[in-house]
Structure 1
């Protein structure tokens, strides 16, 4: 049922793709445009399954009995309540919908052998983890009777009304997006209308929300012909995050013009997106680009920048592969001197078993980790300290761990780690990186642990050196973390 356009009573959106970005100045009528499409699509319910998510979403992400009653008694209540800005109880309804999404996922788990027979897939890994990738200080977890927010620092329960507005917005939008995909009507054309989803979100969160949308489309790519997400936004980070995907087209809404012709995102936009997708950081704190090989590294350095409370002035740029990292390095070298008087940029690669240094290509300074990959730093003393333990305490816990896990697939690897002389410094440990945290009872994602340890480094650590600095590389730490760069 693939279609190429959507229309309202006065609006027309042509050149439809899976993700359709509508840009335009304030007052250009983007919200009216989306609502017009929403109203007509709802009247044609035999052909369309449509959901509209309004801007300025009020309330707290916790289920509310009154909201549940209203939704149960009146099928149109949710749509009417959300047809305005500042929709009351928006987030309470989102929490209810996410609870429904859990039930629907469990039904899919029961009905689809590919999911049921994969031991790595469950609601926590496939759904909750997607939401928690948006968050840095809290996590959303399954409680005894409802979802609950917990602090990553001490694992205490936090009332939903007490989390930050940005975190609340991120959780709500993620829940709505997940619910949309888990309730696809395979007999209709499914449309999700997102009106300014970037409201109240930090640029990092905006970019990560884009990645969540792409990951859900990847999961449901077999149904791509019946899915269209249309979003209006002013956000460069969100646009640049989404533009990395082949699913994306972009159009502009002008004043008094009710027709938008979408065009696929260009290769050029995808290439420059990582450098210009974080304008807020660049303008306010003069952050320096740090090109990284993968998403794991990106999350670590985002956490490190936050933990340092502004002392680490970098914004991570995700390459995604070694080849793309080389392309971004070339692009950086060729462009930066034309934009800035005294440009500086960094690139950090995995060690991958190599120990030789990389040659700088000024203004780009290139570094290689002095360990296999960023997760290997998890076993250094500062990272273990961030989990509240020492190496000796980890060894003791790891030696006891097999007693209750005799059939675990990684028993041999943990046993080898305990006996290793260099803590697997140059060995691939991707399979067991989160298991290392689990063995010692640490609830934090491993990326948070490493990021917190990096963000807590001081110049005194650099002067005296320590194990984490040794694994990262002293010159890299000096220049990237402490800004000791001399242009030459």
Structure 2
């Protein structure tokens, strides 16, 4: 951590970050001057050759599509900086058209990076666009000719003007973030100023954007990471809670009468409690029971299940980042709920990890264990294979054909073991195969969407498969009776 002092024309400090790290979260009440502070930093960085700055305004107007006038204006020195710093809609100004160009620039930067590397198995789609698409529940973003394309998961093309506000906001801000990280200048301190990136985003989506930002930071090598400073002005506890789990994040408060923000690390105790407050809107709008989950994959699956079920599956996913944290959250949740409610109830779902079996409750927290190794194993249930448009016999045939055409693939031994198994490797770790399973079945859906939509689709149904590989067999009777009956 370092102190960053931004000086004015006479060399006097005008804005200071004390204890800055890679990610600097700036909190403060409305009117305390968070936005003004970021614009002040931006304005003085513009006069210092030691810095490179990108400012993302909260006024993100327009549609995410190409605009020739915007591209022409952006070619003029200083135009982009001045328009964004004004922080308000101006004549013909479309922030999202600028973000569209930023994504095009990111594509060019990515391709330049691959020129002198072994690029086998890599592409802008998989490395850059798919992570953006994973944040979205209903659409994906693809490389098109000549422009980016948006599709629903049933393949229907969506016009950029028809994207929801949350979808277009997410794509625009993610494009800015991607462009910034792909263009880090190792000779300068690179400063990304995000002013309320959570605007128009549901708390779940705010949290996913926070993880996206962390993933982009993690993709940098250590030397480049040391040259990056991200400053985020926000009111979002969902975003703060996700970022606070990073070793690179610090938090500070902008006071009304000060241009100095004192930043500090987040304590471990707060990190453990934070997930319970990560989605305040969800928590206030429903009485959905908490379901503490072991990892981000489980969280995405159950979020998708709840969305796809349109209210029929009532659950409030809470993320634990480790088994130990899950245990701590179970104990904390029991104490907290019993102190508030007369009839408290919460749930916790753990991976099978090869040894499925029952778990005892922790007070008012009913604990379940998957009757398979992990959440991705559900992909091989009869219902999920059906969602992928196949069944086990046909999948085996497709996999045999794929293996014949990809003899050198690193995951071939595990795939061959799966295809020849009698139990579909139900209690074996298949994490490396989950994307392959979807691809072999010739589906474009993310695997988490497949599992989540399948869970939503079996809500209220009784098991019909007698193979022993129903999705209910993978989940266990307790989960079926509690959430799906």
Instruction: Give the alignment's TM-score, normalised by structure 1.
Output: 0.91
2:114 pairs with one of 109, 113, 129: 109
Q: Distance in 1 between matches of 2:137 and 2:158?
A: 14
C-alpha change, 1:6 and 1:57, in structure 2 (3 Å) is farther
> Residues 195-220 of structure 1: CA distance to partner in whole angstroms, max 9, x if unpaired?
11110001011111111121122222
Q: Distance in 1 between matches of 2:155 and 2:178?
A: 25
Contact 2:134 2:446 in 1 (8 A): no
Which residues in structure 2 correspond to 1:379-398 (within 5 Å)?
A: 379-398=380-399
> Residues 3-23 of structure 1: CA distance to partner in whole angstroms, max 9, x if unpaired?
512436544332212111111
Verify: 1:401 aligned to 2:402, yes or no: yes
1:68 pairs with one of 46, 59, 71: 71
Residue 20 of structure 2: SS of its match in structure 1?
coil
Corresponding residue of 1:42: 46
1:118: how far off?
6.7
1:284: how far off?
0.3
Q: How many pairs align?
A: 474
Residue 304 of structure 1: SS of its match in structure 2?
helix
Contact 1:18 1:228 in 2 (8 A): yes
Computed over aligned residues only, the root mean square deviation of the Cα atoms, in angstroms, reads 2.2
Q: Distance in 1 between matches of 2:357 and 2:398?
A: 35
1:122: how far off?
3.6
Contact 1:23 1:234 in 2 (8 A): yes
1:463: how far off?
9.6
Residue 348 of structure 1: SS of its match in structure 2?
strand
1:120: how far off?
4.8
Q: Which has the higher mean CA deviation after the structures are superposed, 250-259 or 346-355?
A: 250-259
C-alpha change, 1:197 and 1:155, in structure 2 (3 Å) is same
Corresponding residue of 1:473: 476
Corresponding residue of 2:28: 24
Q: Which has the higher mean CA deviation after the structures are superposed, 296-305 or 312-321?
A: 312-321
Contact 2:356 2:373 in 1 (8 A): no
1:354: how far off?
0.8
C-alpha change, 1:362 and 1:464, in structure 2 (3 Å) is farther
Q: Distance in 1 between matches of 2:134 and 2:311?
A: 21
Residue 167 of structure 2: SS of its match in structure 1?
helix
1:423: how far off?
2.3
1:26: how far off?
1.6
C-alpha change, 1:287 and 1:377, in structure 2 (3 Å) is same
1:413: how far off?
3.7
Residue 22 of structure 1: SS of its match in structure 2?
strand
Corresponding residue of 1:81: 83
> Residues 385-435 of structure 1: CA distance to partner in whole angstroms, max 9, x if unpaired?
212223333233234334433443444444443333322222222222111
Corresponding residue of 2:323: 322
Contact 2:381 2:470 in 1 (8 A): yes
Q: Which has the higher mean CA deviation after the structures are superposed, 342-351 or 465-474?
A: 465-474
Contact 1:141 1:147 in 2 (8 A): yes
1:91: how far off?
0.8
Contact 2:133 2:140 in 1 (8 A): yes
Which residues in structure 2 correspond to 1:233-382 (within 5 Å)?
A: 233-382=234-383
Corresponding residue of 2:431: 430
Q: Which has the higher mean CA deviation after the structures are superposed, 332-341 or 440-449?
A: 332-341
Instruction: Give the alignment's TM-score, normalised by structure 2.
Output: 0.92
Q: Distance in 2 between matches of 1:334 and 1:120?
A: 49
Verify: 1:92 aligned to 2:108, yes or no: no
Q: Distance in 1 between matches of 2:130 and 2:224?
A: 23
1:75: how far off?
2.2
Q: Distance in 1 between matches of 2:207 and 2:62?
A: 24
Q: Which has the higher mean CA deviation after the structures are superposed, 207-216 or 406-415?
A: 406-415
Contact 1:382 1:467 in 2 (8 A): yes
Corresponding residue of 1:181: 181
Residue 201 of structure 1: SS of its match in structure 2?
coil
Corresponding residue of 1:486: none
> Residues 111-164 of structure 1: CA distance to partner in whole angstroms, max 9, x if unpaired?
4xxxx3374544233322321221121111111322211111x12221111111
1:290: how far off?
1.6
